[in-house]
A and B are shown apart, each in its own frame.
Chain A
C-alpha cells in the first residue's frame, strides 16, 4: 500500500526487463514497475492496495541485482538501479508452471459451476500456460462446502488458494480482522473464529478481490456467467461518497456492482450496502405505471401518464391559483442525478413559482453552510496533518470514507480528533475523542478553536470533556493542516449547534477546510443544483443569483422559501396547497414523526415521484413512477463536489422514467417548457448557467480526465486565499460582490459579451468571473454570472438546550448502515441485516432503574413514548442515551421533537407502569 500513496521521489532509476530498459521510481516494487511499462507478471496474492506478502510465488522471475540471476518474487522486490530482470526464461517458466500446478492439485476444477469461471485468474493462467493434464492422481483435499461466513458471503475452502487477499483486506483495509488462516500446512484454511461471523460492512470486497471462486456473494451466486454480463462504468449512489463502480447486468437485470479503483475516491472498495443494493432495482415492488387517486376514492389506481400528469398539473394549478405559488413545496431530489435535481429546481422556481424546495429532510445541515464552507476533498482530508471529525459515525453512514480516513490514520499516521456525543466506529482510531452533551457541541468547539479563552482546570466545555483533553486536542488542531469532516452527529440534536460549532472553528482556525458528511446519494449535487431554499444552481444565493437566473429562466420567486422543517410545519398547519415529494418519504425520514404525520394529513394535494410505494407516497394523490439507479444516465456530485457520470444499464420497469423527464413533462402540462429534451441537454444548461459548474463540459466529463470525476468549483480556494472572509448570506446579497475574487475585472469584461458560451480564457479555472468587481447592486450583475456563495458564521444562533434535570437523559439518534430505508428494505439480502432499535444506555444510568442490560423500558419524550430493549453500553456517556434511526418497529421517530434544540427522554421500567409507580432514579 505504501508504494501507492507515498510520493515517488523525483529521481528515477533504470531497470532492464526482458532486455528493455525502463524507468522506475525508487521504492517501487518490480511487479508494479513492470506492469506500468507493459510487462504483466502473473500473480495471485499481490494487490496494489494492500501490503505485499509474497505467498503465492506465482510472480517469481529471475532478478539479477549484481550477484547473478536468482529466482525471486517480483512482488517482494523493490527496484534497484541497474537491476536486470528476465520474466521469460526457461527457469522462470518452469518455476511459474510449477506454482500453477501446485495451486491446481487440490483445486476442485469445478469451473463449470463456479461463479468465477470465465473471469478467474487461476483459470485464465491455466488456460494460457498450464498443462492440459494433471500429474496429480492422489486424493484431493476436502472441506465442507460452501459455508456461509457471513450473511452475504459464502466460502468454498476447496477452491481457495490461500493467497491471503481476503484476510489481509479484513485486517488491513477494513479493520475487521474476523477471518483468518486456521490450521497449518496443507490443511490451512481461511475461516472465521467460532461463532463469530465475518460481519463486516465491507465483506463484499473480499469476493471481488478473490482470485478464484472461493468467496461468493449470496446476491450474485449462480445468477450469471461472466460472458453473459454486460457492463457500464458508473457511480454508486447508495451514499454521498460517490464510489466509482462497474454496473453489470444479465438479461436486462442488474446482477452485480464492482468497485473500480480510482485514486481520489474509493480505491476499488465498496461497502456492502452499495455493492448489493442493486437488488432493490429489480424488485417486484417497483412502480411501473402512474397511480392516481380519483377524487374521493379510497385507493390509488393505475393510470396512464397522460391522465396522471393531467391530474398532477391540475392539482398544482389549483393550489397556485387558490393559495398562491408559495403554497407549493417540493421535498426531496437528493437520490437522483444532478440533471434530475436541476430540472426540479428549475421547475419549482419557474413554473411552480416557489422557493420552498429542500433536498434534505431536516436531517442534514443547513444548505448554505454545506455549499458555502471552504471545501476539502477526500484526498485533502486523508493528507491533512490533523483530521477533525464532527459528524455522524462514518463507518455506518459513509463507509468508504471511513476506509480512507482509517487508512490515513493507521498507515500514514494522520492524527484524528473526534467530537462525538457517543463512541463511533472511528473512536478507536482517534488520538483524542471528546464527548459532549447533545446540543452543546458549539461550546466544545469554541473551547478548541478560541485560544484566548482556554478551558480552565476542572471545566468541562460541552458538558463532558475534561479541560486537559480539550487542551490536548486544541494543540493537535494547530499542528499543521486541518480538515474538518462535518455532519450531523445526531438527528435528535438541532443542526444549528453543529453550524455554530463550524462557525467557531472557522473563527479560531481560519484555514480549516470542510468535508461535508451528508448521507443521501446525491445530496451534494442536489444542493449544488439549488434544491434548497435560498439557493440557486451553481452554489449561489437566491438574491445574488436573481438577476442572472431571472434572465436565463425568465422567472424567479420573489423571496426565499421554506426548508424541510418549515415545509413540514406549514403542511401540518394546513398552509401547503400542493406538496411534491421527489423520492422523499417524510413519514420515514423526517426526524419528528409526529410532525410529519400531521404534515401529510394537512397537506393539500400531494404528488409523489418515487420508485416504490412508501409510507408517504401511499398517501399521495398522484404517484409518478421514477427510474432508479442503473436505469438512467446523468451525473452525480459527491461530498467533495466531485461530479462523475452515471450510465444507464437496464431499462426501467413499465413506463417509469427519469425524474428530470417527469419534471419536463409536467412543465409542458403547466403550459411551459424547461428547455431541454435530453439528459445531455440538461447538463449543457447546467454548465452554461451554474457558476460553480462553468467549464465542466460533458466532453470533459466523458474524457479520461473525467473518469475519476471532476471537482466542481475547485479553483475557488486558491483564488480566495488571503482575502477577507466573505459574509455573504441571504440577507446581505451585496457583500458577496464587494469581496469578490481577485481576478475579477479582466475576466468579467470578457464574459460580459459572451455570457452564454464557455469563455475560452476560463478553460483553466472552473470559477466563473465575478460580474461586478465592485458593488453588486442591481443591473451591474444582470449580464454576468453571480458569485459563488462563501459562508461564514452568522454568530451563535442555537437556542440554548434546556437546563439539565436529574430525571432526563438526552437522546442521541444516529444512523446505521442497514435500516428500513427504501433501497435496503427492498434488497432481500440486506433487509434482514437491520440490527433493530435498542436503547443504548450507560450502565451507570441503568443501575438506578434497578434493571440490567436486556430489560425492556418505556422511553418517553415530549413527543411520545415507545417501549425498547435497553442495552448497557459504556460507549454512551452518562446522561445520554443512544438510539438507531429507522430500525424495524417503533423507535426514534416517535421521540424526536424537531422544534427543540435537543430531545430529552425519561426511562421507566415496565413493571412500574402501575398507577403512581414511576421509577424514581
Chain B
C-alpha cells in the first residue's frame, strides 16, 4: 500500500486563516449541504449517511447512520449531543476541527438533527480547550444570526437550538454516558449498562444520540457529494477519510487526514507527507495504534492497514485515531508508568477495580522506577491487571502465541479500568528484560 491521492474532506480549512468565520466558511461552500438536506426528507438524509458507511470516529467505530436509527420511534423530546471532550493522551483531532472549522461541525450537527428530528442539541467541549470553546461560541452566534440555527431554519419550518457546554476536566466524561451525567449537572461517572443505552434513555432519560466531533464534521461533505462517493473512499469495511493524530518520536508529528483502509501504519510513520520517519533515524521500538488505552503494537505490525477491522483482530484497536510512536530510546517501564498514571488519575472512582487497581498498578510501577522493585512485582502487576481485565488480554501475535483480538474483558463498569492494564501488559510481555534490569540495577540506560 501507499499514500493515496484522495483529497481531504474535513481538514480543508485547517490552513485557511478565516476558515473559522462564517464568511470564510460560506466562501468555501459552507452551509450549501444544509440547504440540500432540508430539501430532502429526514429519512432520505439518514439513508444517505447509511450509504456512506460512516463509522463513528470517537473510538468505538459504530456506524453513524445505524446509531441514529436506533432511536425509538416517535418518542420526543429527543436530544443530540456532540462529544467534544477529546481527552485521550495522543488524541488531538477534534480540537483542530473545533478551532479551525467550527461551522463545519455546526452544519454537520444541523443536518444530523434534522435527520433524527431533534429540536435540541448540545455541544460538550472539553474544559481545557479554551480556543475551541471561544471559536464555537462565536460561530454559534454567527449561525444563529444568519438563521441557520433557531426557529424555522432557512424557512424549512424546522427549528433547532444548540447549547454550548464546557466540561470541567475529566477524561471519563469522554465516555458517552458519563458525558450525559455531566451535562445533567451530576458527577461525571458512567451510567450502568444495561439498561441504559443513550439511544433509548440518554439525556434526561430521553432518546439521545451522542456523536463525535469528527463524525459530524463529515456529514456536510457526505450530503454534498453523496454517500456513495464517501463509501468509495477507503475500503469496504473502512470507508472514507479519517484524521490521525500522529505523535511521539517521528520527524513530523501532526494531524493528518488519511484515506482509511488503504493506508498502513508504515505509510503514516514514514511517508514524507505524514510522519517523515522516526526521529534521528532511530529504530521503532513500539507504537500505540489507537490512543493511550490501546494495547501496544511493535515493528511487526507496521504494515497493518488503518482499518478497525484489521487492527482489532490483530490484538489492539484503532480507537480514536491517535498513533503514538516510541523509538528505541524509550524506557518501556517509564512509558508504561506514565500511561498508567494518567488512567489512575482519571479514574472516576465509581467501581472498585479501576479505582483501587489502577492506583495500585501506578504505585508498583513508580516503586520499580524508584529502584525498589521486587521480582514478584511482575507477577503481581499481571495479576492485578487480570483482576481488572480478566484474561486473556488482547495482544498481537508474538513468542509463538496467536493474537488475542480486541476488545478486552472487564470487571469494571466502563473500559477505563482495562485501559490502565494495556500499557502494563504490553510492556511486560515484550520488554520483561527492561523490567528485570530496573529491578536488579535500579534503572536502565533510558530511564
| A contact residues around B187 at 8 Å (CB) | 181, 184
Chain B residue nearest to A135 (CB atoms) is: B380
Q: Is B413 engaged at the interface, CB distance under 8 Å to the other chain?
A: yes
Selecting from A102-110, A588-596, A634-642, A692-700, the interface stretch reads A102-110
| A contact residues around B27 at 8 Å (CB) | none
| A contact residues around B348 at 8 Å (CB) | 184-185, 188
| B contact residues around A334 at 8 Å (CB) | none
B236 → A minimal CB distance (Å) = 26
The contact of A99 among B345, B352, B413, by CB within 8 Å, is B352
Chain A residue nearest to B360 (CB atoms) is: A105
Q: Is B346 engaged at the interface, CB distance under 8 Å to the other chain?
A: yes
**Contact indicator A95/B411 (Cβ below 8 Å):** yes
| A contact residues around B154 at 8 Å (CB) | none
| A contact residues around B387 at 8 Å (CB) | 94-95, 97-99, 101-102
Q: Is B113 engaged at the interface, CB distance under 8 Å to the other chain?
A: no
**Contact indicator B192/A188 (Cβ below 8 Å):** no
| A contact residues around B270 at 8 Å (CB) | none
Q: Is A525 engaged at the interface, CB distance under 8 Å to the other chain?
A: no
> What does the 1/0 interface line of A610-645 toward B look like (CB < 8 Å)?
000000000000000000000000000000000000
The docked-state distance in angstroms from the alpha carbon of A58 to that of B359 is 19
**Contact indicator A102/B356 (Cβ below 8 Å):** yes
The winner among A94, A135, A184 for most chain B CB atoms within 10 A is A184
| A contact residues around B430 at 8 Å (CB) | none
Instruction: Given A135-B380, A138-B360, decide whether A57 and B351 contact each other with a Cβ distance below 8 A.
Output: yes
**CB proximity to B under 8 Å, residues A543-575:** none
| B contact residues around A98 at 8 Å (CB) | 353, 357, 384, 386-388, 411
**CB proximity to A under 8 Å, residues B341-365:** 344-353, 355-360, 363-364
Q: Is B279 engaged at the interface, CB distance under 8 Å to the other chain?
A: no
The contact of A184 among B349, B356, B409, by CB within 8 Å, is B349
**CB proximity to A under 8 Å, residues B176-197:** 187, 192, 194-195
B277 → A minimal CB distance (Å) = 38
The docked-state distance in angstroms from the alpha carbon of A805 to that of B127 is 60
B52 → A minimal CB distance (Å) = 30
Q: Is A54 engaged at the interface, CB distance under 8 Å to the other chain?
A: yes
Instruction: Given A53-B192, A54-B192, A95-B387, decide whether A186 and B355 contact each other with a Cβ distance below 8 A.
Output: yes
The contact of A57 among B360, B363, B411, by CB within 8 Å, is B411
The docked-state distance in angstroms from the alpha carbon of A56 to that of B367 is 27
Q: Is B170 engaged at the interface, CB distance under 8 Å to the other chain?
A: yes
> What does the 1/0 interface line of A56-75 toward B look like (CB < 8 Å)?
11101000000000110000
| A contact residues around B390 at 8 Å (CB) | 71, 91, 94-95
**Contact indicator B411/A71 (Cβ below 8 Å):** yes
B388 → A minimal CB distance (Å) = 8
**CB proximity to B under 8 Å, residues A30-75:** 52-58, 60, 70-71
| B contact residues around A103 at 8 Å (CB) | 352, 356
The docked-state distance in angstroms from the alpha carbon of A80 to that of B325 is 46
**Contact indicator B413/A54 (Cβ below 8 Å):** yes
**CB proximity to B under 8 Å, residues A137-161:** 138-139, 161
The docked-state distance in angstroms from the alpha carbon of A95 to that of B360 is 16
Q: Is B412 engaged at the interface, CB distance under 8 Å to the other chain?
A: yes
**Contact indicator A186/B192 (Cβ below 8 Å):** no
**Contact indicator A185/B360 (Cβ below 8 Å):** no
| A contact residues around B353 at 8 Å (CB) | 57, 98-99, 102
**Contact indicator B411/A188 (Cβ below 8 Å):** no
Chain A residue nearest to B364 (CB atoms) is: A138
Interface size on A, residues (CB 8 A): 36
The contact of A55 among B351, B384, B388, B411, by CB within 8 Å, is B351
B413 → A minimal CB distance (Å) = 6
Q: Is A162 engaged at the interface, CB distance under 8 Å to the other chain?
A: yes
The docked-state distance in angstroms from the alpha carbon of A162 to that of B351 is 9
> What does the 1/0 interface line of A161-174 toward B look like (CB < 8 Å)?
11000000000000
B432 → A minimal CB distance (Å) = 19
Chain B residue nearest to A138 (CB atoms) is: B363
| B contact residues around A183 at 8 Å (CB) | 349
Q: Is A136 engaged at the interface, CB distance under 8 Å to the other chain?
A: yes
Q: Is A262 engaged at the interface, CB distance under 8 Å to the other chain?
A: no
The docked-state distance in angstroms from the alpha carbon of A138 to that of B387 is 18
A893 → B minimal CB distance (Å) = 46
**CB proximity to B under 8 Å, residues A659-708:** none
> What does the 1/0 interface line of A341-374 toward B look like (CB < 8 Å)?
0000000000000000000000000000000000
| B contact residues around A55 at 8 Å (CB) | 350-352, 413
Q: Is A76 engaged at the interface, CB distance under 8 Å to the other chain?
A: yes
The docked-state distance in angstroms from the alpha carbon of A723 to that of B192 is 53
**Contact indicator B356/A188 (Cβ below 8 Å):** no
The docked-state distance in angstroms from the alpha carbon of A243 to that of B351 is 34
**Contact indicator A184/B192 (Cβ below 8 Å):** no
A171 → B minimal CB distance (Å) = 11
The contact of B358 among A57, A135, A185, by CB within 8 Å, is A185
B112 → A minimal CB distance (Å) = 31
The docked-state distance in angstroms from the alpha carbon of A186 to that of B358 is 8
| B contact residues around A52 at 8 Å (CB) | 192
**Contact indicator B351/A54 (Cβ below 8 Å):** yes
| B contact residues around A186 at 8 Å (CB) | 344, 347, 349, 355-356, 358-359
The docked-state distance in angstroms from the alpha carbon of A133 to that of B20 is 61
| B contact residues around A135 at 8 Å (CB) | 380
**Contact indicator B411/A162 (Cβ below 8 Å):** no
| A contact residues around B170 at 8 Å (CB) | 184
**Contact indicator B352/A56 (Cβ below 8 Å):** yes
| B contact residues around A54 at 8 Å (CB) | 192, 351, 413
| A contact residues around B349 at 8 Å (CB) | 162, 181, 183-188
B365 → A minimal CB distance (Å) = 11
8 further contact pairs, Cβ within 8 A, besides A57-B353, A99-B353: A53-B192, A55-B350, A102-B353, A105-B360, A106-B356, A181-B349, A185-B346, A186-B344
List the 3 closest pairs (A to B, CB-CB), nearest first: A98-B387, A188-B349, A186-B359
Give 5 A-B contacts (CB < 8 Å), ordered by A residue. Answer: A55-B352, A94-B386, A162-B352, A185-B348, A186-B344
